[in-house]
Amino acid sequence: MTNLYIHLLLQVQNHSASDSASISVIRSYVERLARDGGLDLWDWLAIVIAFISLVIAWLMAVWQKRTERNTMKITKEGQIGLLVDYIRHFYTNLVVIISVTEKLKGRFSSHYPSEEHFRKLTIDLEVLHPEAFFHSKEKYNQIHKLLLLLRNYNIEVDVAEKHLCSRSVEPYAKERDLNTLIFKPDLLCRSFLDCIRNLCEDVSKERYGFLSKYPFLAGCLDRISFIKANVSNQQLYSGYISQIRESIIAEAVKRTGNIEAFKRFENIPADGEPEKEILKQKAEILRVESQKIERRYWPEKSSFADMIFPDDKDLFFALLNHNVDTEMNGLNGQHYPKIFILSF
């Protein structure tokens, strides 16, 4: 019986604690011990304790794997990439909520917007990963602050949907909700851009900080066109701003649909003008087209205009107001109004 018990321990050690097959192995050997050996109370107690320990070890291993998967770290550049993309999302939210406000025209007692317009405004909170910055209290707090802003924004969207879709809520409360939702994308844009600027410092150090110890290597890399060894925080930040600006212009062009002035780009060959150049030309067309409509939204201050389009604020407002006009008066793919207003 002693030899069989020792064999049992060796078999258990040969299996990973995280492997559920270990439980089956020990069960089969327990059955053999019960058949072939005379076990007293202490033998059974030792086996039960070993079996329970193995089960606990297996459960802990499964829990640890799930925890690692759920809290997997994201790189600083990966976090910036998510922030960059969500600024474009804030722009689309601004277009939609201005369009809803303009089309509703204060008819709070008799009409309300379709709930779908509010539900599309909500932000996925998974975009932020404060746990990736646990080593820096300042950056952790900044990411966590953004997380709270987004959570509050989602709450405000939910409240606005309930208020505007209810006939019993006072018109003043509905007007306040809409003004809040118009203001918030601008606040979120500014907060996200401030965070991107702050994170650029760490990214710059990680990418290029080691090269300061090797000036000769840095000089060699600078001679290669696609590698820049000496990139300042501001240069890195400016690159992200350019990326955001292009994404907003692309979004604005996409939301206009196939307007007549865009038809001249349909037959351009694949090896013709670069995509960025075409996008730039389309943006200029929208600038001209926007002058034909009434400008509905032109605040004194705008984080989108001031921080993303500082050298051409007129272009941003031209894109915005053209998109608003399209949303208010345009039709979707099923030929229904893009902004759907219902009566009580």
| Token pair in block for residue 194 | 């401030």
pLDDT tens track for 232-287: 678 889 999 999 999 999 999 999 877 888 888 877 766 666 788 888 999 999 99
Supply φ then ψ for residue 109, to 5 degrees: -85, -20
DSSP annotation of 341 reads E
Q: How many CB atoms lie within 10 A of CB 266?
A: 7
Determine the pLDDT at residue 170: 95
Who contacts 75 (Cβ-Cβ below 8 Å, separation ≥6)? Answer: 132
**In three state form, how does the secondary structure of 185-232 look?**
HHHHHHHHHHHHHHHHHHHHHHHHHHHHHCHHHHHHHHCCCCCCCCCC
Q: Which of 178, 258, 203, 174 is nearest to 78 (CA)?
A: 203
Determine the pLDDT at residue 175: 96
Collect the ranges in the chain with pLDDT lower than 50: 2, 12, 16-18, 209-211, 221, 225-230
Query: What is the average pLDDT value for the chain, to the nearest integer?
Result: 81
pLDDT tens track for 33-78: 556 555 666 777 877 788 888 888 888 877 776 655 555 567 777 8
Who contacts 156 (Cβ-Cβ below 8 Å, separation ≥6)? Answer: 177, 180, 181, 184
Determine the pLDDT at residue 293: 86
Determine the pLDDT at residue 322: 94
| Token pair in block for residue 278 | 């075409």
Strands (E), the chain: 111-113, 341-343
Domain boundaries, the chain: 2-70, 76-343
Between CA 251 and CA 304 the distance in angstroms is: 14
